[in-house]
Amino acid sequence: MNKHTWTIAVLAALSLLACDDGDGAASPSGGADAAAAADQGSAPDAAVSAPADAGTEPDAAPPSGDVVGRCQYVNRFSQGEECKAYVGAAWTAESAAADCEAVFLNQPGTFEAGVPCGYEAELGSCAVGDMAADGYVLVSAGNDPADCGLSQTGCETFAGGSFTPAGVCMADDRCPEPEPTVGPVFVQPYTDCRPPLEGEPPGAGPDGQVCTPVIVSGCTEPGRRYADYASCADVITQRPYSAYGEVPQVDPEDPRLADEGYLGELAWVKTEMEACACACCHTTSDTPNGFSLWDTEAGPLWIDTIPDTGLAMLAGWVGSDAFGAVPTADNNGFERIHTGTPTTDTARMVAFLERELARRGRAEPEFAETRPFGGPLVVQQEYEPSECARGQGVEPDGTVVWTGGAARYVYVMAPDAANPGAPPNLNVPEGTLWHVNVPTAEPLPMGCGMKYGEAPSNAVQVVPADGAAPALEPGKQYYLYVMRDVGLPIT
């Protein structure tokens, strides 16, 4: 490959921010993959689609000898219509129907044997896996050009497939005019300072206020509830949220119920977790529609809702640094360096979680080969840049171009810079030469075609914080990284 005279690569890796996770085993089929991905704080093998009202009913295609069947469902995050076609030779009608029963984050789809996927308006299709074995094709419905880049990213970096554009996505306009962002965007981290609730002591902030970082790894002051001092609605924009999970029955003879020491420590763990943003997804009363996987309000033994793998991550036996961390000094004394959950007392938290794992008969060596948590965030950390494709890079006159649609974040970095990750500590890697982004409140993203070092009128320059960006040297290589939004590289 010929390297561009200015750039070496454009990153493509899709990430979903999360606090922690659960337990699941992957399989070649989409249903189990989806469950495992959800448990790992990542995403299932479904193409990203347009909103539901952008699609149409699937075509009533006749039975085909080339497809075992199709599974239609609605992506619970995007609310868009999607279809999975079972085309691999290893599929049978029975195995495909079983897969469809838990096709997306354990939600069932509608299975039809011998019928291919097809929509009147499609963004494209995504071929995943070995078509001679257990491969399948994902089809996204829609007719909005603004969704094309997201669909391609969802396929190539989310599902690991090969994207074939269709419909409006087949247009070849190098730098189309950006359209306003539809739906929520990732709310950039900020600090929320507000007076303490009536009856609570003064806070440690200015004038007795309670100051709380609004980010998934953020925490309010110890002993207070995060949802009382920060916006969970903003936190949930920083990770996909979906209510699911079951609460196991409590055995009234469980000896833990009579162990005051155990219950006291469990109550402290609950207080620590509810002081942090994880409560926005894992404390029922703080969530929009119910807990996601585990729940601190699920009775006296709520800890039983956390699967073993999730508990191992919380204890620090399995890595989770890809989720990011607020510095302890800025996080009301909570740290998330050695444990998966922020805590004000690492030794105490680890001791309790390790005892709980031992009670379940689990030992740390069992998790030695467990992949770090973070799903696509981990893939993003490990990604090795490749050559820029046609239509991507920084041209000799300084014009920055990319494919895949409009963006809210653009980086030009040294070729050996780490890949940008989760805020607030991994999003501006060392070696970043120039970084611009669109503020949360601005609906219009950036289109390609800007000049290096010149922030568009709707964007702000983050790096360098002051002054001009360093000049690029002709013939030298640089690393271009473009995101539709945090965690959504588009090219």
182 in a structural domain: no
Which comes out higher in pLDDT, residue 195 or 37? 195
- Give pLDDT, residue 171: 63
- Give pLDDT, residue 209: 99
pLDDT of 55 above 60: no
Three-class secondary structure of residue 126 per DSSP:
strand
H/E element, 480:
strand 478-485
Are residues 206 and 332 located together in one domain of the fold?
A: yes
Cβ neighbours of residue 387 closer than 8 Å, sequence gap 6 or more: 1, 2, 3, 4, 8, 9
The pTM of this model reads: 0.73
Share of the chain above pLDDT 70, in %: 85
Count, residues in the chain: 491
When computed from its CA atoms, the radius of gyration of the chain, rounded to whole angstroms, is: 23
Residue 441 amino acid letter? A
E strands within 167-251?
A: 190-194, 210-214
- Give pLDDT, residue 54: 36
185 in a structural domain: no
180 in a structural domain: no
List, in sequence order, every residue forming a beta bridge with 81; answer none if it has no partner: 74
H/E element, 379:
helix 376-382
Which comes out higher in pLDDT, residue 165 or 101? 101
Per-residue pLDDT tens over the stretch 363-403: 999 999 999 998 778 888 888 888 887 778 998 889 999 88
pLDDT of 233 above 90: yes
Which of 117, 140, 170 represents a domain boundary (last residue)? 170
Q: Which domain does 474 fall in, by range?
A: 1-16+379-491
Are residues 163 and 252 located together in one domain of the fold?
A: no
Which has the closest alpha carbon to 7: 453, 394, 465, 359? 394
> Treating both helix axes as pointing N-terminal to C-terminal, what angle do 308-315 and 346-359 enclose, rounded to 10 degrees?
150
pLDDT band at 65, cuts 50/70/90? very low
482 in a structural domain: yes
Question: Which DSSP state fits 257?
Answer: G
pLDDT of 146 above 90: no
Are residues 147 and 48 located together in one domain of the fold?
A: yes
pLDDT of 130 above 80: yes
Are residues 9 and 34 located together in one domain of the fold?
A: no
Are residues 151 and 217 located together in one domain of the fold?
A: no
Which of 367, 398, 427 represents a domain boundary (last residue)? 367
CB 122 within 8 A of CB 80: no
Which comes out higher in pLDDT, residue 254 or 172? 254
Q: What is the mean pLDDT of the chain?
A: 85
143 in a structural domain: yes
Which of 346, 367, 388 represents a domain boundary (last residue)? 367
Distance of alpha carbon 311 from alpha carbon 305, whole angstroms = 10
Three-class secondary structure of residue 491 per DSSP:
coil
Are residues 91 and 7 located together in one domain of the fold?
A: no
- Give pLDDT, residue 105: 75
24 in a structural domain: no
Phi-psi region of 192 (alpha: psi -120 to 50; beta: other; left: phi over 0): beta
Count CA atoms closer than 13 A to 323's CA, side-chain side.
31
Cβ neighbours of residue 76 closer than 8 Å, sequence gap 6 or more: 104, 105, 107, 242
Distance of alpha carbon 472 from alpha carbon 458, whole angstroms = 24
pLDDT of 421 above 60: yes
pLDDT of 208 above 70: yes
CB 84 within 8 A of CB 109: yes
Total structural domains within the chain:
3
User: Angle at the Cα of 310 (from 14 to 300), degrees rounded to 5?
Assistant: 135
Are residues 231 and 358 located together in one domain of the fold?
A: yes
Are residues 12 and 34 located together in one domain of the fold?
A: no
Are residues 129 and 56 located together in one domain of the fold?
A: yes
Mean pLDDT, range 113-124, rounded to an integer: 92
pLDDT of 289 above 80: yes
Mean pLDDT, range 79-91, rounded to an integer: 92
pLDDT of 15 above 70: no
- Give pLDDT, residue 42: 33
pLDDT of 29 above 60: no
- Give pLDDT, residue 387: 85
Among 194-198, 206-210, 245-249, 416-420, where is mean pLDDT lowest?
Answer: 245-249
183 in a structural domain: no
Are residues 429 and 363 located together in one domain of the fold?
A: no
Which has the closest alpha carbon to 311: 278, 368, 358? 358
pLDDT of 110 above 80: yes
Token reading at 152: 């391609």
pLDDT of 11 above 80: no
200 in a structural domain: yes
Per-residue pLDDT tens over the stretch 306-347: 999 999 999 999 999 999 999 999 999 999 999 999 999 999
- Give pLDDT, residue 370: 96
- Give pLDDT, residue 172: 60
Are residues 361 and 384 located together in one domain of the fold?
A: no
Are residues 226 and 259 located together in one domain of the fold?
A: yes
Residue 1 amino acid letter? M
- HEC sequence for 73-122: EECCCCCCEEEEEECCCCCCHHHHHHHHCCCECCECCEEEECCCCCECCE
pLDDT band at 174, cuts 50/70/90? low
